[in-house]
Amino acid sequence: MTVSRREVIAGATAAIGATQVKVATPQPRRALPKDFLWGTAISAYQSEGNNTNADAWLMENMKPSLYKDRSGDSCDSYHRYADDIAIAAKLGFNCYRMGIEWSRIEPNQGHYSNAELDHYAKVLETCRAHGLKPMVSLNHFTVPLWFAERGGFTVPDSPEIFAAFCGKAVKHLGGLMHMATPFNEANIQLLVQIMPGVAQYIPAVKAAIAAAAQATNSPNFSTMAYADPAVSTPLMQDAHRKAYIAIKAVRPELLVGISLTTQDIQPVGPNSLADEYTRRLYGDWVEVARTHADFVGVQPYTRFLVDDKGIVMPPKGAVITDAGYEYYPQAVAGVIRWAHRAIGKPIYVTENGIATDNDAQRIQFIDEALASLRTCLDDAIPVHSYLYWSLLDNFEWTSGYSKHFGLVGVDLESFRRTLKPSALHLGAIARANVI
């Protein structure tokens, strides 16, 4: 089972209905530094298609399955990456956050595919040719099937295995990268643990993992999101540290950061547990970021309201996005300010977006998110990017193809890409470099 933060946080608010979006008050515009990064984020598994050697492919193509759809061809970005990159460049962006698939590059433990490394080199070269600086995720939730079968990040030697992959990949590709992160949303397991709506899904998750273990004759089968964090989190933290060191050993000049799921945690009423929930969401990842990261990537989508008992439902009348959680673009400023206080490293907004079929709502979300980012710049907080999730309407994990975050629509039969007005809107902002 692979789960995204977008799905996890939806579990707490699934019963709330949508209402109209309130119009934000216009604010003065601000010119941004010339090196500010504008772009989109996308993951390899969610867009490439036919990644048959990944753990998620097994989980979505067996019974019982937690997935609404099979990923199948997805957006066929494995073959059509040049089209996607060209779209991003023509829109006016200067950065392309993307992933490379570990399961393609190391299909068997210790055996690397030079052909797949060359493929990703071509992707990165295409980015560079179009004036896009590639920000690369070395892992975006999925792992090679062999790694899941041996126990994933519950096995003591998993940090060394992951770091070896990172070192190999960056040795081959690092000269083409602008920045890199070992994990996407390294603390995803901790998010799973704090969400009240997740408990109801645990029996189904356990059944699916048990079926995968039986199907592969691998009693230790483990997926990243649903491993026991008491076991897996320390190992993943060690894996990040070792990956950081391995990358720097071959490319010392490459900026290597940490990407976290960062929701805006706000106290409600007396004796709020907001500080406790903040600690539970980030844990020791804060210290990892302080010692083994050149920057921190924040990825806000909503806020969590926390009273003296825990996370509470959004206020009456709150707008709920198609993904099932509160419309709250101001979360961008909240998490930037948290990261500045807690970690003190340069900050990049590496994901932010909304699931909606109302593109006017998406435009308004972007404008309000950027307005909140501007307040942080006004306070001299070092924010260096705004990367929207996602370029394409792609495979949204267990939600399949039903949730549309993209600036660009994709016909899943013809693979035709169709730009939405929001794509042109954000592109115009990026070109002007003013918010």
**What pLDDT shows up at residue 17?**
34
Type of residue at 339: A
Distance CA 19, CA 168 (A): 49
Q: Per-residue pLDDT tens for 355-373?
A: 999 999 999 999 999 999 9
Confidence of residue 260 (pLDDT cuts 50, 70, 90): very high
Q: Which of 15-29, 50-64, 318-332 has the lowest mean pLDDT?
A: 15-29
DSSP string, 198-210: GGGGHHHHHHHHH
Contact 134, 176 (CB under 8 A): yes
Q: Per-residue pLDDT tens for 377-417?
A: 999 999 999 999 999 999 999 999 999 999 999 999 999 99
**What pLDDT shows up at residue 396?**
98
Contact 310, 196 (CB under 8 A): yes
**What pLDDT shows up at residue 220?**
97
Asked if residue 11 has pLDDT above 60, the reply is no
DSSP string, 82-139: HHHHHHHHHHT-SEEEEE--HHHH-SBTTB--HHHHHHHHHHHHHHHHTT-EEEEES-
**What pLDDT shows up at residue 26?**
52
**What pLDDT shows up at residue 196?**
83
Asked if residue 352 has pLDDT above 50, the reply is yes
pLDDT, mean over the chain: 94
Of 26 and 324, the one with more pLDDT: 324
Q: Per-residue pLDDT tens for 327-351?
A: 999 999 999 999 999 999 999 999 9
**What pLDDT shows up at residue 202?**
85
Asked if residue 95 has pLDDT above 50, the reply is yes
The predicted model scores a pTM of: 0.94
Confidence of residue 131 (pLDDT cuts 50, 70, 90): very high
Asked if residue 305 has pLDDT above 70, the reply is yes
**What pLDDT shows up at residue 302?**
98
**What pLDDT shows up at residue 4?**
62
Question: Contacts by 266-271 with C-beta closer than 8 Å and gap 24+?
Answer: 266/303, 266/304, 266/305, 266/306, 266/334, 267/306, 267/307, 268/305, 268/306, 268/307, 268/312, 269/307, 269/308, 270/308, 271/308
Quick check: helix, strand or coil at residue 267? strand
DSSP string, 22-85: PPPPP----BPPTT-EEEEE--HHHHH---TTBHHHHHHTSSS---SS--TTTT-HHHHHHHHH
Asked if residue 222 has pLDDT above 90, the reply is yes
Q: Which of 55-69, 171-185, 284-298 has the lowest mean pLDDT?
A: 55-69
Confidence of residue 14 (pLDDT cuts 50, 70, 90): very low
Asked if residue 246 has pLDDT above 60, the reply is yes
Closest CA to 351 of 138, 41, 135: 41
Section 86-110 average pLDDT: 98
Domain 5-432 fold: TIM Barrel (3.20.20)
Place of tokens 């013809």: 414
